Amino acid sequence: MDTHLAALLGGLLIGLSAATLLLLNGRIAGISGLVAGLGRPGERRLADLAFLLGLILGPPLFATLAGHWPLMRIEASWPVLAVAGLLVGFGTRLGSGCTSGHGVCGLARLSPRSLVAVPVFLATGMLTVALMRAAS
């Protein structure tokens, strides 16, 4: 499958899943909020867990059905990955949401917070890449 077509289909599926979750459950598909909700009692926990399991199990299922797995290479050590994960979690809480929540759902709802957060995320990412490239 052409890379551009695969990217388009992937984006459509992300948008469709976010819209479906919002329309059927009244929930925003911000992954950090869904994960945080698993620790709270309530009837939404099962629906949140099903959505998160779909995120985890969907790619391997697709790869199996498509007949090929993408080549992935992780060059960082486990301690670096652990620290990076903690920093992402801290930033998610500090930013009142993650990139999926702000970028996919917040922008679609014209959330003022997301309209500020997404450009900050992008600028920070671009600055990080530029600094990392300059350092190497």
Helix (H) or strand (E) holding 77: none
Last residue of one domain, picked from the residues 33, 52, 72: 72
| Same-domain check for residues 66 and 122 | no
Quick check: helix, strand or coil at residue 33? Answer: helix
Instruction: Tell me what the mean pLDDT of segment 15-22 comes to.
Output: 86
- Domain span holding position 94: 76-136
> What pLDDT shows up at residue 76?
92
> What pLDDT shows up at residue 1?
66
CA distance 1 to 87: 35
Last residue of one domain, picked from the residues 43, 72, 101: 72
pTM score above 0.75: no
48-91 pLDDT, tens digit per residue, is 888 889 888 988 998 898 888 878 888 999 999 999 989 988 88
Cβ atoms of 27 and 44 within 8 Å: the answer is: yes
| Same-domain check for residues 121 and 81 | yes
Report the alpha-carbon angle 92-78-129, nearest 5: 55
For the record, the structure tokens of 73 come out as 């290479």
Over the chain, what is the mean pLDDT?
A: 86
| Same-domain check for residues 59 and 98 | no
Instruction: Tell me what the mean pLDDT of segment 120-131 comes to.
Output: 93
23-38 pLDDT, tens digit per residue, is 888 888 878 777 877 8
**How many CB atoms are closer than 10 A to CB 96?**
15
